[in-house]
Structure 1
């Protein structure tokens, strides 16, 4: 096996980044440094941790133009949208910094004569963060900032597709004056990643990625009795009721399905539309999708960049072709998108109707620019179909009847329920999943719970 990491750009299939994988001595040194540095860091006041983390955010956003350009070359995000990820990084980081004081405050219990009793939230130690390429900064910041704010040290292993993201975050922390050893990154092979998970210095794992990746993490950590947070896949549904604002529903769901070329764990991958508005919805949706500009992600005119690699494009093409063979109707002519070409990462968007759950495109995560639209006759049918999935990350309902929409939301098996919106992480709300979408919680005040351990104090004060 090569000891080098090569990042192939989806723009032109060129090698964009070359890095050496960390050696065993470098891995061992990083873990030992993290463990030692954390012992001092955990004793600092939360306000001092906040000062340093806030300075990191300032240093990070100062490089937003460079970051946007690197994103477009590493994973295909259109350059015009790169600043959005930087803004999201800032929003989440600053919210979690502000929430730390309250989230980490001791829990007071009812008074008891002769005793003082309370519960403290203590840092777990060293947190190992394994981050993906599709939203490389947004996914990693969810764990990095609260872990440090809670008094932990962090070791980051970023995707081989986006290695520069780890380096940019490290540069920002260095500029902010974070003490050495508290934030480190390692470029790791799969085998060495498993080795770090098993290392005695590591006390918690934060993983974002595929279901098979999550299975690997659980197996590697088996028997260690440490915390594991898993954010895995999604096949997120939207339901458009008969009374929905149709223009708003089309604009929102189509953006939710095709932004980032559909490469979002919480993107819309299946849409259920009431039969009374189905045809009108489809007509408007096809018209909107036809306006996308498929092209190089470094072109400012591009609104739909390549997917991450040619094999990912072929996977989606296979889902679409199989669905059409089974009776689905494809509404977009790939020839109308000149950059679409087999064997490349450039893939035309596709809208499918006459679909059902016997087709993989409606049940298997696509992670690409395709969406199936299925006609339903009632709320009950929509709820049943929305829940007919191994995943449960987010779900959306579009309706003017807020009360009924909420009633539907209570019945949908999902981590986050949206009404009249989709595909957004509010840092004030817990980010969770059910079923194969994972376990654990990030963001919000609750996101601090898995990055700390409870310690009870039971003091007899009258003798």
Structure 2
């Protein structure tokens, strides 16, 4: 599908923001990692190597061809893990002061390329410019907090071993690179898998900058089927950090349950926003607007609104004030003064995701859900004739039937569902529909209701009239039920998860072993 925008528009992509210009800048900074032909290399055995079968990637922004993923074989992945484990033996003996200096150097190098990394993220994962800058900034500020506090966190602790990382495409810097830098700071060698759906060049550049600073990083590309045996099950892997969907997460958890290695498995869940005896509709407007950032392609996005039936008219009036103001469009079309646009969100990660959401919407409405809002794409926010198959406007449905995907599964896109309830018990039941999620919020004027929701919620973080997020620095992060398995992270727990303390210590987390204790974040 294409849009035909009026030819009178003067908006355009600035020459400096074209993919060709950005890739050339990145290639000049990391020529060993990024081939001039667009073929990206794997980082194994301590150097960038032209291994793997190239698989072309395309931009969700307009379908244009980007760089090529170097897809490794299972055998090459095993060799990469074994080489990385050997590198750990040397790195683990490096004094903390030296490790801290090298990580600080890496952070400074990444910060110096803030704008370039952000614009690469726009092309590769469709993240709008302001939000892409925030991803870089959170990486930098988060790791600097650990640099400041690492002495106390490592008191009485030793490095664990080679840490393997498999993460989703939506936060390649502020989740994946951030974790890798902290893992190395704690004394571990690190290997990571490039997300196959997006973020290849931005991630490769950041890792190349860290490698130049002397950090023991390895980076490999390939399908999960080919690489999981090495990155998950290889005996040289001491711990696995995973961020992704439930189906793959369950398979990984099953593969690890009988192995003596650490793991931190973050999986999806339906994050719910409850409304009961509430009157601050201006606050709700703010929450609804902010909640649509990046098209709700976030593990902490709120997609399910459970509303007291008597308040639904006021809720709906508020929602319908916000939804039409959301701007969806090409995230690189400069305004007349040359500034990149501040759209609420651009494309989803690919056209297949849009097709999946459209099928789920059709399933729900065919079976009785009531369409409440269906936004449209404004041609003025796109180039004439642009491929817009990866874009979808905000959509909201009332009462999706039980058994439909939109009732029980996270949409991971700009589709909201509304469920009406008549009691606090029903409110909590509907907020817990996914049997475990990462965050929840209860909007209420009644503190007793907030206390009851917090006590019975299956979310790890619950907000009372505030939105909750993954958080960083001193804030811990985890999940309940099916949204998380293994050690909790964030703050000191992130360091504890990848280091060894006193014999018999207990880590905070969701483990099947009886000797390890769960934990939970408090309501702010």
TM-score by length of 2: 0.77
Aligned to 2:124: 74
State the match for 1:153 in structure 2.
189
Matches within 5 A, 1:19-38: 19-22=69-72, 27=77, 30-38=80-88
Shift of the alpha carbon at 1:426?
Answer: 2.4
Matches of 1:342 and 1:238, distance apart in 2 = 34
Gaps of 5+ in 1: 107-120, 458-463
Give the 3-state SS of the residue equivalent to 1:307 in structure 2: coil
> Which residue of structure 2 aligns with residue 134 of structure 1?
170
Structure 1 equivalent of residue 180 of structure 2: 144
Q: Does 1:429 align with 2:475?
A: yes
Q: Which residue of 2 aligns with 1:118?
A: none
**For 1:253 and 1:410, how far apart are their aligned partners in 2?**
25
Assess, with a 3 A threshold, how the Cα gap between structure 1 residues 456 and 346 changes in structure 2: closer, same or farther: closer
The answer to whether 1:329 aligns with 2:364 is no
1:163 lines up with 2:200 in the alignment: yes
Q: 1:286 to 1:393 in 2, by over 3 A?
A: same
The residue number in structure 2 matching 1:438 is 484
SS in 2 for 1:293: coil
Structure 1 residues 336 and 133: CA distance shift in structure 2, 3 A:
closer
Contact 1:356 1:374 in 2 (8 A): no
Q: Describe the shift of the 1:191–1:82 C-alpha distance in structure 2 as closer, same or farther (beyond 3 A).
A: same
Q: Which has the higher contact order (CA 8 A, sep 6+)?
A: 1
Q: Deviations over 1:4-32 (max 9, x none)?
A: 23222111212211132246675455434
Residue 350 in 1 paired to residue 395 in 2? yes
Q: Describe the shift of the 1:298–1:220 C-alpha distance in structure 2 as closer, same or farther (beyond 3 A).
A: farther
Shift of the alpha carbon at 1:361?
A: 1.3
2:208 equivalent to 1:174: no
Query: In the alignment, does 2:360 pair up with 1:314?
Result: no
- Cα separation, 1, equivalents of 2:149 and 2:269: 28
Q: Output the CA distance in 1 between the equivalents of 2:362 and 2:117.
A: 36
Partner in structure 2 of residue 360 of structure 1: 405
User: In structure 2, do the counterparts of structure 1 residues 361 and 351 end up closer, same or farther at CA, with 3 Å as the change threshold?
Assistant: same
Show the counterpart of 2:233: 198
Deviation at 1:312, TM superposition (A): 0.6
Report the alpha carbon displacement of residue 331 of structure 1 after superposing the two structures with TM.
Answer: 2.8
Structure 2 counterpart SS, 1:346: coil
Q: State the partner residue of 1:241.
A: 276
CA shift at 1:379, angstroms?
2.4
Match of 2:421 among 343, 353, 376: 376
Verify the 8 A CA contact 1:93 1:141 in the aligned structure 2. no
Q: Is residue 194–residue 220 contact of structure 1 (8 Å, CA) maintained in 2?
A: no
2:327 corresponds in structure 1 to 293
CA contact (8 A) 1:253 1:422 kept: no
**Aligned pairs for 1:212-227 within 5 A:** 212-221=247-256, 223-227=258-262
Q: Partners in 1 of 2:412 and 2:278 — Cα distance?
A: 30
Q: Which residue of 1 aligns with 2:438?
A: 393
Paired residue for 1:89?
139
Change (3 A) 1:14 1:264: same
Q: Kindly indicate whether the alpha-carbon contact (under 8 Å) linking 2:77 and 2:227 is maintained by their aligned counterparts in 1.
A: no
Tell me: CA distance 1:231–1:103, structure 2 relative to 1, closer, same or farther (3 Å): same
Q: Do the aligned residues in 1 keep the contact of 2:435 with 2:458 (CA within 8 Å)?
A: no
Matches within 5 A, 1:441-452: 441-452=488-499
Provide the C-alpha distance between the structure 2 equivalents of 1:362 and 1:209, rounded to a whole number of angstroms.
Answer: 20
1:286–1:351 contact (8 Å) kept in structure 2: no
Separation in 2 of the partners of 1:385 and 1:227?
Answer: 33
* Structure 2: distance between partners of 1:228 and 1:208: 11
Shift of 1:189: 2.6
Equivalent residue for 2:295?
261
| 1:154 shift after superposition | 0.3
Distance 1:415 1:28, change over 3 A: same
Give how far 1:249 is off: 1.9
Q: Residue 337 of structure 1: CA displacement?
A: 4.1
Please state whether the residue corresponding to 2:310 is helix, strand or coil: coil
User: What secondary structure does 2:459 align onto?
Assistant: coil
Measured at CA, do residues 255 and 15 of structure 1 come closer, stay the same or move farther in structure 2, by a change above 3 Å? same
* CA distance in 1 between partners of 2:163 and 2:313 (Å): 50
Equivalent residue for 1:277? 311
- Cα deviations by residue, 1:183-229 (Å, 9 ceiling, x for unpaired): 12111232331232232321111111111221332355465422221
